[in-house]
A and B are shown apart, each in its own frame.
Chain A
Amino acid sequence: MALRWRNWIIGVLLLLGATQVAQGSWIHVKALVAQQLLQQAWLRGQQSGLIEKPWPWADTHPVARLQVPRLGIDQIVLEGNHGQALAFGPGLASESVMPGTEGVMLISGHRDTHFRFMRNLRVGDQVRVDSISGEHLAYRVTDTRVVNAHDLYLQSDNTHKLLLATCWPFNSAVLGGQWRFVVIAEPVLPVTVARVAFVAKRGGLYGGY
């Protein structure tokens, strides 16, 4: 009798634990696999010049590519920062501007998946953003802050900034906290890298012209 009770309880507990672990892993698997599909959609988009959906039923699409060379980060940013988008990649707030336009660009990501690297960002780090139209924009981290999620106010003016945001504290398991960790980066070059690169390439190919 005692043995049966014991086995039964342990069996149920093991199964319960397994579903929880599977659920947790699924979030990470989804985040990883989606980025692979997104990279492909991004490349297709770069070639076709059209908005390419990563999978047929996706309700969002790639809008930018985000890189942090020092940390080896290379991610595809999605349109919108609602939950459905953030599960698959960092999201560009629809209130903010598109990459390549003047204004404030706000990209948010999950603190425990895509934006886990945020805790390692330092002032002075280089952040690169590629726009869908092929521009390469370079930014440098100038400041980091912790703010209340409801206290951010984006003024539409002519400042050109990149904001990266994720939940704070980083290792808390509590959901729905009010604090956000925000990294502020400012453009490095007034001329986009793309144009410089293009000129250099042309010089090489058609030297003398």
Chain B
Amino acid sequence: MNCTNPMRFWIWAWALSLFVSAHAVSDPEVAGNRDFSQIKSGTLFIRNAQQASLAPLLNTDVQLQVSGVIVRAKVIQHFQNPGSDWVEGTYLFPLPENAAVDHMRLRVGKRTIEGVIKEKEQAKRVYSKAKREGKRATLLTQERPNMFTVVVANIGPNETVRVEIEYQQPVHLDNAEFSVRFPMTITPRYIPGASLIDAAGQARFTGPGTTPNTDQVPDASQITPMMSGIGENTNPINIEVDLLPGFDIEGLESLNHRVKQQSGEMREEHRYRIVLDSTGHDSDSDFVLRWRAASTTEPYVALYTQEWQGNYYSMLMLTPQMQPSAVSDDTDLPRDLVFVIDVSGSMGGESIRQAKQALEMAIKRLQPRDRFNLIAFSSHTRTLFHSVQPASKAMRARAISFVRALSAGGGTEMYPALDAALTQRFAGMSGGQLNRLRQIVFLTDGAVGNEDQLFELIERKLDNSRLFTIGIGSSPNSYFMSKAADSGRGSFTHIGSMNIVAERMTELFSKLESPILTDLKLSIPEQFDAEFYPRQIPDLYQGEPVVLAFKTKGLPEKLQLSGISETADFSQTLKFEDVEQRKGINVLWARRKTDALMGRYRASYEQQQKITLKQAVVDLSLEHHLVSRFTSLVAVDKTPVRRPSEPQSSNALKNNLPKGGKIGLPQTATAAQLSFIKGLFVWVVALLVYLYCRWHGRHRVRYGS
């Protein structure tokens, strides 16, 4: 061997490096003088230490029956008491935002008790009385249109009680794509405002939640459930869909969950049975099933009718056929776009990546004649430019680097951000430039508790703008986002996973760039005394359907839908010949009317008017057996089962942590130590080379060669 051979030297050095690094790098336990037996490994949760007694266990079966464009759903919750004491279970759970909940049943063994609809406070009293008397009882109340609380009293030791909840909703149709969604958990809501303090100086709690009520969210303690641990599945959900679309379909798929499709045994054509693959799913994101009509040439029209208590209730869903000439380029107006992105803590993880990717795509699609601005908010609002700027290449590049640098963290103070987007964006604009489309694109998971306050802001300041909401994450608050888009006269797009960001953003952008159908009117001859909802049909973007529910005296022969697009008038006539009869259309109608009444209730500041509107909602809900903000379903068994001497504990059930919404701890190791080790190692190698060569040299001299 000779040190003049560099090849050999490097092999030698490499072997040595392996030896040294193996010793230097590993061995964590050596250091420090602390007692490592103290360290507990595992997951850390910071929350109120409560809930010592055994909470009931829960699992849920969901049966969705889709027939045409109507979904009839049954949600069966099994509450199992694993302990030897009597318990009362409270569970806050999500439902689709437009679900009309009309039935509830309590089942114990073979007994079935049908729930009755009552005014909220009255229902609560009925329930409390039954609970005190030791009778089995259950109460279903609405906290938000997409959040409900079920309470079950007197679940006996080792007993299972079933609560069945039924609701009806229309299928979602957009761009010739049908979909049905079932939310599985609740993304924890951000609660703005100061805590309310009660007479005793304590923070005020009116529910089992983790956050006290605040001045901005007076029911915060009712909408902030405990969340289960990472990887824990405290509420396994099974879903079974019976799909009868009524036409040939293609592209049937479940977006976020694995499913098994069974169609063999069914005799009928076009009937599908889809079952959630229960192995390895965590019930931590929304279940979404979507399909398309195989032939997309004909636009979809659905019309259902029901005769109920002397009146006819109908539902219409149709995608208007726009003139091909209307879809031309030369009518494109220049646009002013304001992008608002939520970078609060709840957006952490997968959600912020989805949002950033979506936003980057949006910015890249801007045309030079467009103008834009960008607002990012969490606890504070940050605006990229002081006013809207032309979307030149340089400006777009600046915006993209701004987007790339965003990271999630902090609160969700949405009000100031939305306010800024609605008001400041057109500062410095002269009168001659008014003829531009003003569009606000809002990316968020909607994890806020002060929805009403935000709707009010949008309605008050919208003016000529349009608000488009993009729902991000595995279980966004779609009630907030679809209602905000309604109030903002835009549309709501849901992005649930990374791989559909591109698809959804392209869809949204072709919508934003295409002409709009406005002034839509439904005309039904006056003698039928038609009452339809929504009262004002929203403007339609390309691919969007009109969904209308109306009540008439008698059945008209035909009805006409008309509107104006930028280039041509639109008119379509529908005939009421052999219209399909359906149950439960009255509930859908009542639900839409309730939405309209609640909108007025929110906007009203006059006490007397508020009382009148509240009464109208109560009357309507009682008539149609509908759960609303002011009415609840309650079911009480006749005979007491628990003796008054036996105690009963109350427990709140946890919700699963939504997928991807975790806060990670930062990387806190520097490269310093590694650098030192590398440096020292290289020095040691240098020394060895020196010594080796010296020794070798001497060796050679002594013995010759």
Do A and B bind? yes
Q: Is the C-beta of A83 less than 8 angstroms from some C-beta in chain B?
A: yes
Residue contact B667 to A83, C-beta cutoff 8 Å:
yes
Q: Mark A163-198, 1 if CB is under 8 A from B, else 0.
A: 101111111111111001110100000000000000
Q: Is the C-beta of A81 less than 8 angstroms from some C-beta in chain B?
A: yes
Residue contact A13 to B669, C-beta cutoff 8 Å:
no
Cβ–Cβ < 8 Å partners of A122 in chain B: 34
Rounded to whole angstroms, the CA-CA distance of A146 and B37 in the bound complex is 11
Closest residue of B by beta carbon distance from A177? B669
**B interface residues with partner A (beta carbon < 8 Å):** 2-4, 6, 9, 24-34, 38-48, 188, 190-191, 195, 203, 210-212, 224, 226-227, 229-230, 345, 348, 378-379, 407-410, 657, 662-683, 685-686, 689-690, 693, 697
Q: Is the C-beta of A10 less than 8 angstroms from some C-beta in chain B?
A: yes
Residue contact B3 to A171, C-beta cutoff 8 Å:
no
| Cβ-defined partner of B668 (8 Å) among A18, A121, A166, A171 | A166
| Cβ-defined partner of B682 (8 Å) among A17, A28, A108 | A17
Cβ–Cβ < 8 Å partners of B42 in chain A: 145, 147
Interface size class of A (residues with CB under 8 A): 35 or more
**Cβ distance B660 to chain A, nearest Cβ, rounded Å:** 10
Closest residue of B by beta carbon distance from A148? B43
Segment from A33-41, A43-51, A109-117 that makes contact with B: A109-117
Rounded to whole angstroms, the CA-CA distance of A104 and B44 in the bound complex is 13
**Cβ distance B608 to chain A, nearest Cβ, rounded Å:** 37
Cβ–Cβ < 8 Å partners of A184 in chain B: 44
**Cβ distance B117 to chain A, nearest Cβ, rounded Å:** 34
Residue contact A110 to B670, C-beta cutoff 8 Å:
yes
Residue contact B672 to A112, C-beta cutoff 8 Å:
yes
Most A CB within 10 A of own CB, among B3, B212, B662, B665: B665
Of the A-B pairs whose beta carbons lie under 8 Å apart in the complex, a sample of 27, sorted by A's number, is: A2-B3, A6-B3, A9-B3, A9-B689, A10-B690, A13-B683, A20-B675, A21-B676, A23-B672, A24-B674, A27-B672, A82-B407, A91-B666, A94-B378, A94-B379, A95-B410, A108-B668, A113-B670, A123-B38, A147-B41, A148-B43, A153-B230, A157-B210, A158-B211, A159-B46, A173-B673, A174-B674
Cβ–Cβ < 8 Å partners of B378 in chain A: 94
Rounded to whole angstroms, the CA-CA distance of A115 and B669 in the bound complex is 10
Contact A24-B673, Cβ < 8 Å, known A144-B38, A149-B664, A174-B25: yes
Most A CB within 10 A of own CB, among B38, B211, B348, B669: B669
**Cβ distance B215 to chain A, nearest Cβ, rounded Å:** 15
Rounded to whole angstroms, the CA-CA distance of A172 and B669 in the bound complex is 9
Q: Is the C-beta of A64 less than 8 angstroms from some C-beta in chain B?
A: no
Q: Is the C-beta of A201 less than 8 angstroms from some C-beta in chain B?
A: no
Residue contact A110 to B669, C-beta cutoff 8 Å:
yes
Cβ–Cβ < 8 Å partners of B224 in chain A: 156-157
Contact A154-B46, Cβ < 8 Å, known A120-B33, A172-B26, A180-B668: yes
**Cβ distance B409 to chain A, nearest Cβ, rounded Å:** 3
| Cβ-defined partner of A27 (8 Å) among B6, B203, B407, B675 | B675
**Cβ distance A124 to chain B, nearest Cβ, rounded Å:** 12
| Cβ-defined partner of A171 (8 Å) among B31, B348, B409 | B31
Contact A5-B211, Cβ < 8 Å, known A152-B662, A153-B227, A175-B669: no
Rounded to whole angstroms, the CA-CA distance of A88 and B692 in the bound complex is 43
Cβ–Cβ < 8 Å partners of A86 in chain B: 666, 668
| Apart from A94-B378, A170-B31: 14 A-B pairs, beta carbons within 8 A | A9-B3, A18-B679, A20-B676, A25-B672, A93-B666, A112-B673, A151-B43, A152-B662, A153-B46, A158-B212, A166-B668, A167-B668, A169-B29, A174-B25
Contact A2-B693, Cβ < 8 Å, known A151-B662, A154-B663: yes
**Cβ distance B410 to chain A, nearest Cβ, rounded Å:** 5
Cβ–Cβ < 8 Å partners of A173 in chain B: 24-25, 673-674, 677
Cβ–Cβ < 8 Å partners of A152 in chain B: 43-44, 662-665
Cβ–Cβ < 8 Å partners of B191 in chain A: 156
Rounded to whole angstroms, the CA-CA distance of A209 and B515 in the bound complex is 75
Cβ–Cβ < 8 Å partners of B678 in chain A: 17, 20
Residue contact A119 to B669, C-beta cutoff 8 Å:
no
Closest residue of A by beta carbon distance from B349? A150
**3 closest Cβ contacts across the A-B interface?**
A169-B28, A20-B679, A24-B675
Closest residue of A by beta carbon distance from B694? A6
Cβ–Cβ < 8 Å partners of B670 in chain A: 27, 87, 110, 112-113
